[in-house]
């Protein structure tokens, strides 16, 4: 999915993957399923596989984010939330030929 440049003017409109925050007391799997449903309108099925974890430290905001990236399967027809402007189904080699988010690029390159 391509990030919507109007909603996120502070970042480039890269191709990206669904994502979001884990709510308090929410299980990881439930959060992942919820985010896929909210951002893509699809239902996560089966057991996703953890591909990568990234620590993001922002000392100026006293912030520590742990970014977890999964590979999984979903059913249904995709639709866009207001966070993205378009979507496309692409093979890994095609994604890597685009302006994909730098973190997503690194994760995908490690999988090839």
> Residue 81, class by beta-carbon neighbours within 10 Å (0-12 exposed, 13-18 middle, 19+ buried)?
middle
Does 94 have pLDDT greater than 80?
Answer: yes
Instruction: Tell me which of 43 and 7 has the higher pLDDT.
Output: 43
User: What pTM did the predictor assign?
Assistant: 0.83
Confidence category of residue 12, pLDDT binned at 50, 70, 90: confident
pLDDT given at position 1:
92
> Residue 51, class by beta-carbon neighbours within 10 Å (0-12 exposed, 13-18 middle, 19+ buried)?
middle
pLDDT given at position 63:
86
Kindly list the domain boundaries of the chain, sorted by start residue.
2-104
Does 11 have pLDDT greater than 80?
Answer: no
Averaged pLDDT score across all residues of the chain: 91
CATH of domain 2-104: 3.90.79.10
pLDDT tens for residues 62-78?
Answer: 888 888 999 999 999 99
């Amino acid at each position: 999915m391509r990030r919507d440049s109007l909603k996120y003017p502070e970042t480039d409109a890269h191709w990206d993957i669904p994502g979001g925050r884990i709510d308090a007391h929410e299980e990881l799997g439930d959060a992942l399923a919820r985010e896929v449903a909210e951002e893509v309108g699809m239902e996560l099925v089966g057991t996703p596989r953890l591909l990568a974890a990234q620590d993001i430290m922002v000392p100026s905001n006293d912030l520590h984010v742990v970014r977890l990236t999964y590979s999984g399967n979903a059913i249904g027809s995709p639709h866009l939330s207001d966070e993205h402007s378009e979507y496309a189904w692409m093979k890994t080699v095609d994604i890597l030929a685009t302006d994909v988010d730098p973190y997503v690029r690194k994760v995908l390159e490690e999988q090839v």
